[in-house]
Amino acid sequence: MKKILVTGGCGFIGSNFIRLQLDAYPDVEIVNVDALTYAGNPENLADIDSDSRYRFEKGDIADPDFIEDLLATSNVDAVVNFAAESHVDRSILDSGPFVQTNIVGTQVMLDAARKVGVERYLQVSTDEVYGTLGKEGFFTEETPLAPNSPYSASKAAADMLVRSYFHTHKFPVIITRCSNNYGPYQFPEKLIPLFISNALNDQSLPVYGKGDNVRDWIHVMDHARGVDAALRKGVPGEVYNFGGHGELQNLELTKKLLDALDKPHSLIKYVEDRAGHDFRYAIDTAKAERELGWAPQVDFETGLRDTIDWYLGNPVWVERVKSGAYRDYYETQYGNRLGAEA
Ligand code: NAD
Ligand code: TDX
């Protein structure tokens, strides 16, 4: 698999995935298509910009003319579709862009990739399509889809389209579903980078509800290695789940973060819960371990420390992504919850 079209490569996971490809495979070539929404930041790949194996194309995955033309002229072996609207809270405020990019965009990518006949089409999905767990149990690849947020509903709809192209058109698709990622280059709207950034500025950490919701945290490089393994070793038509064996209640995690930053627990502020807030996510990774030879390698304590160090070492990156439009979102999302402080 020599030439890969990656979508959403200027975002958090896509940029880490592209860096992994270029580091691990000397012969690989990457074409990165990204619309550069609020979450897309070319600075995430500034270090590889001059690598002759890398090419960036600005564009929208839901634009059929642009995508068809690009695929017809790029001669790629595989497509990896990371591009998405990815934040649950934004999908509660406005689901329109989620339907457009996550569903229509996936349909456009599938049709264009099928037209040129790529070897593999990999859809990057999420464990959130399975809905929520109670205190016990794990999601497996057999768990029925039961999405609860507009975000996860749009990702589940995309997964259904991808699945249908395998059954109807024998198109060689693979779907991966991963739990909550953390690590360098994550936009500070998601829990871990938002709370690191707020704590460093001595601002409140807005914990939704009682903070007893549980997420299974995985380091972004473990996810990137999983997508790579699925792309190269996965069987068409199959789904592979990835998780970090890193279950934590949000409140426990928040306290760990504050302790690591040497900041007081009094920065914790309990705010109005997220509407439809899924209680718990946890992944059974047996299939990926057995069939792809993949397992998460980064333990949470080490990964969190490295992530904190990365944010401490990159204050300019943080300030730049927090300027402009992100300020308006922060005010809309947290204005009522945190009052004047937001
Ligand atoms: P992100 O929000 O950081 O990045 C998304 C990228 O997609 C951005 O660069 C953005 O500019 C680009 N994009 C958005 N709409 C586009 C469009 N119409 N055309 C082209 N590019 C567009 O997201 P992320 O956290 O890196 O997530 C990447 C993928 O992984 C998503 O599909 C998400 O659903 C999935 N995922 C994320 C997590 C997580 O914890 N973050 C977990 C499991 C799965
Ligand atoms: O301010 C906050 N306060 C808070 O208590 C934020 C932003 C979040 N939370 C809670 C909600 C969740 O229980 O923290 C948990 C994690 O929240 P997010 O970082 O928003 O992630 P989540 O909603 O779990 O979804 C993430 O994991 C799956 C990604 O954003 C998705 O793209 C991915 O598919």
Q: What is the pLDDT of residue 328?
A: 86
CA distance 167 to 164: 5
Cβ–Cβ under 8 Å, residues 149 and 199: no
CA distance 15 to 8: 8
Take atom 1 of ligand 2 and give the residue whose Cα is closest: 206
Q: What is the pLDDT of residue 75?
A: 97
Q: What is the pLDDT of residue 290?
A: 98
Task: Name the percent of the chain in helix, strand, coil, to the closest 5.
Answer: 50, 20, 35
Tell whether 100 is covered by a domain. yes
Ligand 1 contacts (CB < 6 A) are: 7-8, 10-14, 33-37, 39-40, 60-62, 82-86, 101, 105, 124, 126, 155, 178, 180-181, 187
CA distance 108 to 105: 5
Helix (H) or strand (E) holding 173: strand 173-178
Atom of ligand 2 nearest to the CA of 125: 34
Report, as residue numbers or ranges, the catalytic residues: 127-128, 151
Tell whether 71 is covered by a domain. yes
Cβ–Cβ under 8 Å, residues 116 and 43: no
Nearest to 180 by CA among 258, 254, 282, 81: 282
Tell whether 208 is covered by a domain. no
Backbone Cα Rg of the chain: 19
281 HSE (CA, 13 A, CB side)? 28
Torsion of CA 284, 286, 288, 290, to 10 degrees: 180
Structure confidence by residue, pLDDT tens digits, 137-179:
999 999 999 999 999 999 999 999 999 999 999 999 999 999 9
Tell whether 272 is covered by a domain. no
9 alpha carbon to ligand 1 midpoint, in Å? 8
Cβ–Cβ under 8 Å, residues 77 and 120: yes
Q: How many domains does the chain contain in total?
A: 1
Angle between helices 220-233 and 12-24 (to 10 degrees): 60
- Cα 9–chain centre separation: 11
Tell whether 64 is covered by a domain. yes
Take atom 36 of ligand 1 and give the residue whose Cα is closest: 126
Task: Kindly state if the Cβ of 279 falls inside 6 Å of ligand 2.
Answer: no
> Where does 75-219 have alpha helices with state H?
88-93, 96-98, 105-116, 150-169, 191-200
Tell whether 318 is covered by a domain. no
Q: Which distant-in-sequence residues (6+ apart) come within 8 Å of 262 by Cβ?
A: none
Q: What is the pLDDT of residue 249?
A: 98
Tell whether 139 is covered by a domain. yes
- Cα 23–chain centre separation: 20
Tell whether 196 is covered by a domain. no
Nearest to 206 by CA among 186, 191, 188, 185: 191
Cβ–Cβ under 8 Å, residues 116 and 172: no
Say if pTM beats, i.e. exceeds, 0.75.
Answer: yes
Nearest to 68 by CA among 109, 35, 34: 109
Atom of ligand 1 nearest to the CA of 10: 9
Q: What is the pLDDT of residue 287?
A: 98
Place of tokens 């080490």: 302
Tokens of 174: 């693979």
DSSP 8-class letter at 144: P
Nearest to 192 by CA among 202, 180, 201: 180
What's the domain range around 104? Answer: 3-180+220-244+280-297+326-341
CATH number of the domain where residue 154 is located = 3.40.50.720
Tokens of 261: 């930053």
88 alpha carbon to ligand 2 midpoint, in Å? 7
Residues of the chain with pLDDT under 50: none
